[in-house]
Amino acid sequence: WEKCNLCEQTLRVLEEEQKAKSKKWSPFLKPNTAQRARVDETRSQLSTLVSLRLLAEQKVEGARQAIERAKIEKEHVISALAATRLRRDLLQKAATLAEKPAASDSEDASKDQSDKQKKKESMSLNMKGINLPDIPIAPPSTPVNATRAAGAGAGAGSARMNQELSAYSRSEKIAHELEEAEE
């Protein structure tokens, strides 16, 4: 019996020590799990914020690239417009020269002056960094829908179209000769 009593006492002492230890550590264990949960939640929120930031940076970069593309497109449009204006003016001059083959000296002087003005404009555009591409442009007198009009109308429409096309080809020849003369 003494051994049993002694065993029971040691068992009780051990149980009490265990209870004391668990009571001692229990306040730390409970907040620790709560803190872990808060830390995990904070980490997930942080990762969400980081991914949102990366997404926002990608959108900003995409917007910057779109702005750059728009600027380049604008420069191309400006240079094409300048080239179109120059060609239109040349073709109009060529058309007037084709209609009036015998030009006087005063007309030649005004033509030379306007050619000098065009060269100045072209040089100023080139100095600004705008390249003038070689784009074939139809003059305003060329009927765009002439084939439809000729098909729907009488023979007079097609005759007029032939006249305008021959005038256009003459003005093209003269414009080509003017360009060669300038070179």
Check: CB of residue 137 under 8 Å from CB of residue 56: no
| Cβ pair 134, 90 in contact under 8 A | no
pLDDT surpasses 60 at 47? yes
Taking each helix axis from N to C end, the angle separating 105-127 and 2-99, rounded to the nearest 10 degrees, works out to 170
Higher local confidence (pLDDT), 179 or 89: 89
In the chain, the amino acid numbered 86 is: L
The pLDDT score that the predictor gives to residue 116 is 67
Give buried/exposed letters for 113-151 (b at 16+ CB in 10 A, else e).
eebeebeeeeeebeeeebebeeeeeebeeebeebeeebe
Write out pLDDT tens, residues 12-40: 888 888 777 766 655 555 666 677 778 78
- The C-alpha atoms of residue 118 and residue 157 are separated, in whole angstroms, by 36
pLDDT at 11: 80
More confident residue, 152 or 42: 42
CB count in 10 Å sphere of residue 97: 18
Count CA within 13 A, CB hemisphere, residue 31.
3
Whole-prediction pTM: 0.34
pLDDT, tens digit, 9 for 90 and up, residues 49-90: 888 888 999 999 999 999 999 999 999 999 889 989 999 998
Residue showing tokens 């949960």:
37
Reading the block at residue 34, the tokens are 């709560």
The CA distance from 91 to 134, in Å, is 14
Round the average pLDDT of the chain to a whole number and report it: 71
Residue with tokens 């300048």: 82
The residue among 149, 152, 173, 177 whose CA lies nearest residue 162 is: 149
